[in-house]
């Protein structure tokens, strides 16, 4: 994490000042965010599992309230940025994005609901499993719809990437799980067929339901050289990455202009300046973090901790893949940041909160293993 922090500050600075896109550098703010992130992670780490469970519902209520409050907040408190009303403007602090912290709230509350449901319904049944899915939907769907309307499709995708593996490990019966996963698979397949075989129908009936911003991003991804305006970021991203070649142009020598290069497109700066070798090293470092999370989760003996670890590792893996994929033009642009590297306080702090949970899982080994062995001895 310290190494990622150093890399982040270096390339946030380079993205800010190299081509004169901004008057100053965002490095100092990013450094402060990192210090606050480590403090927040430590604050979460000192909690035990039971305290974390008690903290879940109040935090969920607070963040959902703040998310819904954006709808009614006046412009001087929550103004729209690039067509999205997703941030509160706080004097002397900056902006806060409540939807980022919904990840932390969903993780704890949904895990708690799943574990409580498993304890109550010890005998598997389709009705009990269906009730569990309804409970999760009631928790997740209302705030997710609010986030989608902001609009922030990328954040909704992150929620789904985190929650789906948690549902998979919830113990619901295989047939119901297959049915649950088959629905989105059928929908995606149908959309692909409609786009390829019945393009006019797809355009008039499907794309017409989306916002102009979402439609432009989809067409900019599918036809980058026909829709030059909407694909500008994507085209510039893979031009920057390609120009770095094997070893890069050198630090502070990025020349390809990309709007908001220090946030969503930070990887393009890294690849442009340190090339394929540097970009591959950063990717390996990010996935080493995920590898450690998986190892820690596998050793957990409590289902509550296992569910949270699965959600965190899946979330980060999807977010890394989506961000780097969109900079390469392989995936549509969604506004998803690169974890621990992109500039942004809310994203960084929320991810450090998740890492705090990982530390709680790790710190719980001895206590839970001792309790488990003691209980087995008593049973004998």
pLDDT of 378 > 70? The answer is no
Max mean pLDDT range (172-176, 235-239, 358-362): 358-362
The pLDDT tens digits of the residues spanning 176-206 come to 778 777 777 888 888 888 877 877 777 777 7
Question: Phi then psi for 23, rounded to 5 degrees?
Answer: -70, -35
> What's the mean pLDDT in 239-252?
90
State how far the alpha carbon of 205 is from the alpha carbons of 178, 185, 227, 355, in Å.
28, 20, 21, 42
Percent of the chain scored above 70 by pLDDT? 93
Residue 230 confidence (pLDDT): 72
319-328: b or e for each residue (b if 16 or more CB lie within 10 Å)? bbbbbbebbb
Instruction: Output the pLDDT for position 369.
Output: 44
Q: What is the pLDDT, as a whole number, of residue 72?
A: 87
The confidence band for 262, taking pLDDT boundaries of 50, 70 and 90, is confident
pLDDT at residue 370 is higher than 50: no
Q: What percent of the chain has pLDDT over 90?
A: 45
What Å distances lie between residue 25 and 14, 17, 29, 255, 279, CA to CA?
A: 8, 6, 9, 17, 22
pLDDT of residue 86: 86
Q: Are 20 and 335 in contact (CB under 8 A)?
A: no
Domain range for 337: 2-379
Lowest mean pLDDT among 118-122, 346-350, 355-359: 118-122
The dihedrals phi and psi of 144, each to the nearest 5 degrees, come to: -65, -40
* Residue-level pLDDT at 23: 66
User: Tokens 């999370």 belong to which residue?
Assistant: 293
Residue 302 has a CB neighbour count (10 Å cut-off) of 16
pTM above 0.85, yes or no: yes
Q: Give the tens place of pLDDT for each residue, 31-60.
A: 999 999 999 999 999 988 888 889 899 999
Please tell me which residue, 279 or 195, carries the higher pLDDT value: 279
- CA–CA distances in Å: residue 226 to residues 24, 89, 222, 230, 240: 35, 37, 9, 9, 20
Q: How far apart are CA 91 and CA 19, in angstroms?
A: 29
Q: Which of residues 272 and 232 earns the better pLDDT score? A: 272
Mean pLDDT on 77-89: 81
The domain tally of the chain equals 1
What pLDDT is attached to residue 372? 45
Of 15-29, 305-319, 325-339, the least confident: 15-29
Lowest-confidence range among 100-109, 115-124, 128-137? Answer: 115-124
pLDDT at 175 over 70: yes
Q: Is the pLDDT of residue 24 over 70?
A: no
What is the number of residues in the chain? 380
Q: What is the overall mean pLDDT for the chain?
A: 86
Separation of alpha carbons 309 and 365, rounded Å:
14
Report pLDDT for 43. 93
Residue 292: how many other CB atoms lie within 10 Å: 14
What's the whole-number mean pLDDT along residues 288-306? 91
More confident residue, 106 or 122: 106
């Amino acid at each position: 994490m310290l190494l990622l922090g150093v890399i982040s500050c270096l390339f946030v600075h380079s993205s800010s000042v190299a081509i004169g896109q901004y008057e100053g550098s965002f490095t100092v703010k990013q450094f402060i965010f990192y210090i606050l992130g480590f403090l927040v992670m430590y604050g979460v780490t000192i909690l035990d599992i039971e305290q974390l469970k008690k903290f879940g519902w109040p935090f969920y209520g607070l963040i959902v309230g703040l998310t819904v409050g954006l709808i009614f907040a006046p412009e001087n408190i929550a103004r729209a940025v690039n067509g999205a009303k997703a941030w509160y403007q706080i004097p002397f602090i900056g902006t806060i994005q409540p939807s980022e912290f919904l990840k932390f709230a969903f993780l704890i509350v949904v895990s708690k609901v799943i574990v409580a449901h498993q304890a109550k319904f010890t005998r598997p049944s389709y009705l009990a499993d269906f009730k569990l899915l309804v409970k999760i939907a009631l928790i997740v769907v209302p705030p997710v719809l609010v986030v989608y309307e902001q609009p922030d499709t990328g954040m909704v995708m992150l929620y789904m990437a985190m929650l789906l593996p948690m549902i998979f490990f919830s113990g619901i019966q295989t047939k119901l799980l297959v049915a649950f996963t088959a629905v989105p698979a059928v929908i995606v397949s149908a959309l692909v067929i409609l786009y390829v075989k019945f393009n006019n129908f797809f355009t008039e009936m499907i794309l017409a339901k989306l916002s102009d911003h979402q439609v432009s991003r989809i067409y900019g991804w599918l036809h980058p050289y026909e829709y030059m305006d909407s694909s500008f970021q994507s085209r510039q991203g893979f031009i920057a990455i390609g120009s770095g070649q094997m070893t890069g142009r050198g630090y502070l020598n990025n020349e390809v202009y990309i709007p908001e290069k220090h946030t969503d497109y930070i990887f393009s700066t890294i690849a442009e300046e340190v090339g394929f070798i540097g970009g591959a090293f950063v990717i390996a470092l990010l996935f080493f973090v995920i590898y450690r999370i998986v190892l820690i989760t596998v050793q957990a003996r409590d289902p509550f901790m296992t569910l949270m670890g699965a959600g965190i590792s899946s979330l980060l893996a999807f977010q890394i893949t989506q961000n780097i994929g969109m900079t390469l033009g392989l995936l549509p642009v969604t506004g998803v940041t690169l974890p621990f590297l992109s500039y942004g306080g809310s994203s960084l702090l929320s991810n450090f909160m998740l890492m705090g949970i990982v530390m709680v899982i790790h710190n719980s080994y001895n206590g839970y293993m001792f309790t488990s062995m003691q209980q087995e001895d008593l049973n004998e």
